Amino acid sequence: MSDRAALVAAASAMISEGSKSFRFASQLFDETTRERSWLLYSWCRACDDITDGQTLGHDAETPEDPEVRLAFVKEQTAKALAGEETGLVPFDALGLVARECDIAHAATEHHLAGFARDAAGWRPETEEDLLSYCYQVAGAVGVMMAQVMGVSRDDGDTLDRASDLGLAFQLANIARDIVDDARVDRSYIPKSWLAEEGIAAIDPDDPGHAPIVARYRKRLADMADQYRESARVGAARLPLRSRWAILAAANIYGRIAEVAREAGEARWNERISIGKREKLRQVRRALMQSAGRPADFNRDGLWTRPALD
């Protein structure tokens, strides 16, 4: 599908069905940035769906084996980035937005590396492993989104801070989902952290693990705070509407991290969420923040993304 308007419409429809939160937040962008964000996100969404064994839609069939699914995604991505039509909306959408915004192909490779880890049943050994995974599944998307918003691939510090926001998002997600992940035998808690508590895994049915989960949530939320504050410095360099959108997302995920941290032992196995009213409050707060400048934040000591060359 080579017609730009048709690709944008199809990508928008996919996002409306698959991620209402992103669709809502994207309305804060100017029209061109909004459309490009839909094109990029449709590819990210499809990669996630296909590698998780869900259907891509648009008459495509995905294979059952995780390694075969991943190979399919890599093959279609490579074709799209080479300028070939795949006939699949998410991949053709990626090819289009990559050409329009000069998106670094290395960032797409970094993103796919995270899906490869999941397909292999990988679990982090150390905090460094955790952060590299957070970069792959979310930080790399932050880097690509920064390029969609006009950041040059030569502006390393701003791209570092865009990656930081992705890390903050993913750390908040992991803090929120510790118990839900454990229920499906999935864990993103580093094995070194588990060893500190003298356990091999979180038991979602053992109340004795309540204080451990509470400590992990706080630890992850505290880490997310650092990366989010770094990201605010980079967001201040963006055009106003992009700045507003990014700060709104930062606030929403920041609130998720706060709720996870505040849940404590009493709500250790409850699903963490925030409602639409709270999200709107954070969007309004972001608009006010957009008019000012964040405090300077030196990111020395934070984990740093790999180079794009």
Judgement on whether residues 91 and 167 belong to the same structural domain of the protein? no
Quote the pLDDT of residue 67.
87
> How many domains, the chain?
2
Where is 211: in which H helix or E strand? helix 210-235
Q: Per-residue confidence of the chain (309 residues) as pLDDT tens digits?
A: 569 999 999 999 888 776 766 777 788 999 999 999 999 999 999 998 888 776 544 444 445 688 889 999 999 999 999 999 999 999 999 999 999 999 999 999 999 999 999 988 899 999 999 999 999 999 999 999 999 999 999 999 999 999 999 999 999 999 999 999 999 999 999 999 999 999 999 999 999 999 999 999 999 999 999 999 999 999 999 999 999 999 999 999 999 999 999 999 999 999 888 998 999 999 999 999 999 989 899 999 999 999 997
- Same-domain status, 138 and 286: yes
For residues 223 and 299, membership in a common domain is answered with: yes
Looking at the structure, do residues 71 and 158 belong to the same domain, yes or no? no
| Rounded Cα gap, residues 304 and 156, in angstroms | 11
- Same domain as 37, residue 131: no
Asked if 40 and 169 sit in the same domain, the reply is: no
Query: What is the per-residue pLDDT for 18?
Result: 66
pLDDT for position 65 = 83
Pick from 88, 246, 285: nearest CA to 168: 246
Q: By C-alpha distance, which of 23, 13, 6 is closest to 87?
A: 6
Q: Are residues 225 and 161 in contact, defined by beta-carbon separation less than 8 angstroms?
A: no
- The pLDDT value given to residue 84: 96
Q: Which of 74, 101, 128 is the last residue of a domain?
A: 101
Secondary structure of the chain: what % helix, strand, coil (to 5)?
Answer: 70, 0, 30
pTM over 0.85: yes
57: β partners: 60
Q: What is the pLDDT of residue 49?
A: 87
Q: Are residues 131 and 176 in the same domain?
A: yes
3-state secondary structure of 305: coil
115, 214: one domain: yes
- Write down the pLDDT at residue 215: 98
10 shares a domain with 128: no
Q: Which structural domain, as residue segments, surrounds residue 49? A: 1-101
Which CATH number goes with the domain that contains 278?
Answer: 1.10.600.10
The pLDDT assigned to 147 comes to 97
Q: Can you give 111-175 as a three-state secondary structure string?
A: HHHHHHHHHCCCCCCCHHHHHHHHHHHHHHHHHHHHHHCCCCCCCHHHHHHHHHHHHHHHHHHHH
CA 170, CA 202: separation in Å to the nearest integer?
A: 19
76/168 same-domain check? no
Q: Measured in whole angstroms, how far is the alpha carbon of residue 305 from the centre of its chain?
A: 14
| Residue that is last in its domain, among 50, 80, 101 | 101
Question: Are 166 and 33 within one domain?
Answer: no
Q: Amino acid identity of 193?
A: W
pLDDT for position 148: 97
Are 92 and 219 members of one domain? no
Q: Point out the domain boundary residue: 60, 79, 101.
A: 101
